[in-house]
Structure 1
Amino acid sequence: MTEYLARYDTAAQKAAAQIIASYSTSFSLATKLLAPHIRTDISNLYAMVRIADEIVDGTAHDACCNCTDILNTYEKTILNAPNTRFHTDPIIHAYAITARRCNLNPEHIKAFFNSMRADLKQPGATHAVDLDTYIYGSAEVIGLLCLDIFLSDSTYPSALREELQPGARALGAAFQKINFLRDLAEDTETLGRTYLSRELSEAEKDTLVAEIEADLTVAKKALVKLPDSSRKGVAVALKVFEALTARLNQATVEEIYSRRVRVPAYEKVLIALRA
């Protein structure tokens, strides 16, 4: 590789890291405990996912863009990105490096964009999205893509790799369900989405919290089998999710609706230090 291309690779991946730092303090904190090369690939993947989120979550709409056309074009670009060694967009360039290096499954990318497309159909819709399908595409496949990154430099037997997949999917599903509760007001009032009932009852909230706890239990079983290069970082993410779940469990639906439940910064730091 030439000096010019290596320099551009580094710059593109720094841009991806800036995206993760700007949008998610919890995720950024967790990645600091990943091995450097794993951290880079996770940042490259997250930056691509974050931009897709921006297309469907209001940013593109605020810019008076046709969100459906932009999302469809972005999906095609991302699916084709690994086939080209240079991209003028640094985030796409960084993602392509990781997609090639970690052999990311394009079917998982397609499932992700299908869920993003469902978000675009939400405002004014007469029915809610199919939650199982949506959660699979929006969150579970992200867990599977992360697993591909975690195992990219290891010689894990295929049987063990398959054994870890339920845990990866469960951790992604737990995070998505947590966000359904945390973002209840924004989703229903601002974005017009109906992942959960607009009149969520305390019993329904308790049922969802129990599902999250069950998902986290499945994820814990897989955690201990991850490589050293990723185990601590995933442990931090899991512990933060547990802390969020506990706070959601204690809060009433009215409290959840009135404010976004968060884990204080000092508690996140303690979780990271323990890991």
Structure 2
Amino acid sequence: MGGRADELYDVTARRASRAVLAEYSTSFGLGTRLLGGRARRDIEAVYALVRIADEVVDTYRGPDAGALLDELEAQTSRALVSGHSTNLVVHAFARTAARTGIGHDEVDPFFASMRTDLTVRVHDRGSYERYVYGSAEVVGLMCLAVFLNADRQPGEPVRRPAPTLVTGARALGAAFQKINFLRDLGADTDDLGRSYFPGVEAGTLDQEQLDEILAEIGHDLAAARAALPGLPRRARLAVAATLGLYDRLLGVLACTPPDELLARRVRLAGPRKLAVVARSVAGELRTGGTGAARVDA
């Protein structure tokens, strides 16, 4: 076998990853539609891997969840070396990783954070920051690697980001994670028994605590937005669209009393999401940066 059969397997793996994204995230999916074909497929592969790991610790949560997570990490590690996996999602991720330079620097902290969800219920400042780094900031770094290498040709060196882009990618991932922590505050407490924000006891949140969290997220979003001009053009539009959605969510969260955040998940209706994306893209086209990717030599 080989040749056409290998290509068919790759295509099937990519379709599996696309299906995961389509089922689990409308907001993230909207942003990917602004990317070119290769970048979109690679982002789908990244999303699918982190999603199925998250499902093990958040949805399944069976007595063998730790063993399942260990096996998924082992499959991923093997595939980073061999470029192949019998797990279609892992296979698609491995192909993306080889093309974009994603490796253990990103993968290992991610799985470490996922493993934390199986044992840690309340976080202090140190464990919270480590968790956010592994669960979200490294995902931002994976996405950045995809953006910078979307048009890289075989034989060309992998493009590595400049420090300003690294800062922006980490901030973007952190902001998204913290917003989702706020949106899922009730479910994390009632269903999962977790409290992520340091100093916030499970099932409680006062206005002062909420204001501090919102300010922290606002700082992250500002740092992410400052890095936009250094991204390639289509990636810049996709990230601007996603930033617009989360800016809007942050505004809604700021107008929602703490007791309501504990009782329901804040959402944006589909038509409103489309309107926010359209405005964000239009605004970035009018005032965006040069679109020249900043990379380290």
TM-score computed with the length of structure 2 as normaliser:
0.86
Distance 2:83 2:136 in 1: 28
Do the aligned residues in 1 keep the contact of 2:45 with 2:93 (CA within 8 Å)?
yes
Alignment-derived partner of residue 8 in structure 1? 9
- Cα deviation for residue 79 of structure 1 reads 1.7
2:196 pairs with 1:195:
yes
Do the aligned residues in 1 keep the contact of 2:80 with 2:103 (CA within 8 Å)?
no
Alignment-derived partner of residue 142 in structure 2? 145
Q: Which runs of 5+ in 2 are unaligned?
A: 282-297
Query: Structure 1, residues 132-167: CA drift from partner, whole Å, max 9, x if none?
Result: 111000111110111111111368985x62221100
Do the aligned residues in 1 keep the contact of 2:57 with 2:117 (CA within 8 Å)?
yes
- Cα deviation for residue 128 of structure 1 reads 2.5
- Cα deviation for residue 92 of structure 1 reads 1.2
RMSD: 1.7
2:243 pairs with 1:238:
yes
Distance 1:169 1:85 in 2: 26
Do the aligned residues in 1 keep the contact of 2:42 with 2:146 (CA within 8 Å)?
yes
Alignment-derived partner of residue 38 in structure 1? 39
2:123 pairs with 1:128:
yes
Distance 1:107 1:71 in 2: 18
Which residue among 84, 98, 101 is the counterpart of 2:99?
A: 101
Do the aligned residues in 1 keep the contact of 2:110 with 2:134 (CA within 8 Å)?
yes
2:224 pairs with 1:205:
no
Do the aligned residues in 2 keep the contact of 1:38 with 1:229 (CA within 8 Å)?
no
Alignment-derived partner of residue 70 in structure 2? 72
- Cα deviation for residue 105 of structure 1 reads 2.6
Between the two proteins, the alignment pairs up a number of residues equal to 268
Distance 1:76 1:83 in 2: 11
Distance 2:113 2:14 in 1: 26
Do the aligned residues in 1 keep the contact of 2:148 with 2:159 (CA within 8 Å)?
no
Over the matched positions of the two proteins, sequence identity in percent amounts to 40
Distance 1:109 1:157 in 2: 18
Q: Are the structure 2 counterparts of residues 103 and 157 from structure 1 closer, same or farther at C-alpha, using a change threshold of 3 Å?
A: closer
Partner of 1:91: helix, strand, or coil?
helix
- Cα deviation for residue 60 of structure 1 reads 4.7
- The AA in structure 2 aligned to 1:151 is L
Query: Structure 1, residues 121-140: CA drift from partner, whole Å, max 9, x if none?
Result: 03xx5x42511111000111
Q: Are the structure 2 counterparts of residues 94 and 56 from structure 1 closer, same or farther at C-alpha, using a change threshold of 3 Å?
A: same
Alignment-derived partner of residue 178 in structure 1? 179
- The AA in structure 1 aligned to 2:123 is A
Distance 1:58 1:43 in 2: 20
- The AA in structure 2 aligned to 1:250 is C
Distance 1:132 1:88 in 2: 34
Partner of 2:268: helix, strand, or coil?
coil
Partner of 1:44: helix, strand, or coil?
helix
TM-score computed with the length of structure 1 as normaliser:
0.93
